[in-house]
Structure 1
Amino acid sequence: MSTSITAQEPFVLHDYNLEDWLRQTYGEQPSRATATRQLTWKQRVLYAAGHAINAYYTLSPELREVSNIAKLVDLRWPRRPVGFDSEAHYWHTKDAVVANLTALLQDNQPAAYPVMLYEQQQVVVPELRTELSLIFQMMWQASWTTAQPGDEPSGHKSLIVQKFFWEREPHLEEAFIHLSNVFCRTAFGCVPERIDMFYLSDGTVQRHVPHMKDVAASIDYLDLLRHAVPGGNRLCACCRANAGTAVALAPSWSLS
């Protein structure tokens, strides 16, 4: 009997394991620093920026208007230029992050407060018999109801999902869109109204508008990759009961 129950436990796909696999497969090869579990300079930059973003949106809207982004970034910024190309690269990167993050955050106020801010959430996708585990940097519930072109109005308030990257990484962006589509459809009954991807290296934003008809392709994408990505495991029912607070599963550079 115990064997039968275990066999029915869903596979767990973590977003950070998928990102690591995609980077190794299509992007940068794992460096010696990565192999020894040391953070790269990009990971350290995103760590500092993530804490600054979290602190910024925890403030009331009135206080955000007078907040100093440079001070928020400095709280977690690496104290030494270890891993950077040079000391000049270290300071140039910090200046760019402060300038670009200041502009991006001040222009990004879909609602008074995000409904999710660096939270890990999990949901079981029946079609895949797979449990998706995602860390949502920011999710907003806008005041208008969903009205995507060509879709029937759902009556739900619009969801806006957002993520910060250091630079353009097309394979990671594609994965983020598919994960967001499937997670939101399964958990909330609708895909996001909009998916925003911010790039700290140049201060640009890419906006993607998904549709319910895209969900089938997103499920196919995850079905192809779910067993190729290392690090997946199976959780017992007791563990799944605490899925929303499983901070131990988060990568070392998250806000957990």
Structure 2
Amino acid sequence: MVHAPDGRVNRILNDYQLEEMLWSEKSWNRIRKEDKIPEKYVWRHRVQYAVSHAVNQYYTLLPEVRREVPIPYLLERRWPRQISDFDSADHYWHVKSQVTDELTRVLSQRAEFLYPTLLFEELSIFVPELQMDLSVIFQAAWQLDRNAATQLTIHKYMVSYHPEVIKAYQHLATVFCVHAFGELPYCIEVDCLMEGKKETYVPNEEDYFFALDYIKLASPLCSSEGRTMESISLVL
């Protein structure tokens, strides 16, 4: 919880909280009956951890140094060692090969991006229309000059494709940017490494109001009291 200046306790919605809810409740049969029992880490969590650290270390380096440091080396430093975390040995090597190749490809394509404006920063902002705080992790964001205007481009790196998780992040980031920075993000790009798929989203003013409605519907789902088949169907 976050305490407002007047002493109120604001509700807070974290992007990762909503994402994990959507991952775990992809279908009715996967809704957990025992919400107090923590989920164990699955291979996706462990690989995401390695990817996130590799991206962070890559963009922390000076641009001229990045070209000399192999991305597979950065990824290997925190890659999960336990094959038992995966479905099988074949699955382990398939995931490692695919994620390594795709992350190398997407980072190499962005070699002209020098210094990110935001690099793995978690920021929070109060949204009056929602009467709650939104907290968003920006893996990498750039202020790029387009048509003589400096506009924010946000990049997110996901291990596996999940359309509802991507949609949730797009909506949270859109609302967040308007309230934190005073304008819509120019573009939100999500790279899904296992599928070699990129989702590009360019929000407009109408999308902002749709995003507000989405968050109003989705935020109660992140507490066990708010989860019902009917309410989830409004979002999924």
TM-score, scaled relative to structure 2 = 0.84
Post-superposition shift, 1:231?
Answer: 8.0
Counterparts of 1:1-256 in structure 2, within 5 Å, are 8-26=8-26, 29=30, 35-109=37-111, 111-144=113-146, 157-230=150-223
What's the CA shift for 1:35?
Answer: 4.8
Question: Which digits, 9 at most, give the CA deviation of each residue in 1:109-141, with x for residues without a partner?
Answer: 463111111111000001111100111111111
Matched position secondary structure for 2:129: coil
Report the Cα offset of residue 142 of structure 1.
0.7
Does 109-118 or 196-205 show the bigger shift? 109-118
Q: Which moved further from structure 2: 181-190 or 108-117? A: 108-117
CA contact (8 A) 1:190 1:212 kept: no
Find the aligned partners of 1:131 and 1:21 in 2 and give their Cα distance. 18
The Cα of 1:76 is off from its aligned counterpart by 0.1
> Compared with structure 1, are the counterparts of its residues 39 and 138 closer, same or farther at alpha carbon in structure 2 (3 Å cutoff)?
same
What is the rounded CA distance, in whole Å, between the counterparts of 2:37 and 2:99 in structure 1?
26
Match of 1:52, as an amino acid?
A
Runs (4+) of structure 1 exceeding 3 A deviation are 34-37
Gapped runs of 5+ residues in structure 2?
1-5, 226-236
| Residue aligning to 1:242 | none
Aligned residue identity for 1:223: K
* CA deviations over 1:11-32 (Å, ceiling 9, x no partner): 1111111112222322593799
User: C-alpha displacement at 1:206, in angstroms?
Assistant: 1.5
- 2:221 maps to a residue whose letter is A
Structure with more relative contact order (C-alpha pairs < 8 Å, separation 6 or more): 1
The share of aligned pairs that are identical, in percent, is 35
CA displacement, residues 203-222 of structure 1 (integer Å, 9 cap, x when unaligned): 22111111122111111111
List runs of 5+ in structure 1 lacking aligned partners: 147-154, 233-256
RMSD, aligned CA: 2.4
Which residue number corresponds to residue 150 of structure 1?
Answer: none
- Conservation of the 8 A alpha-carbon contact between 1:110 and 1:142: no
TM superposition shift of 1:10: 2.2
**Matched-pair contact (CA < 8 Å) for 2:15–2:135:** yes
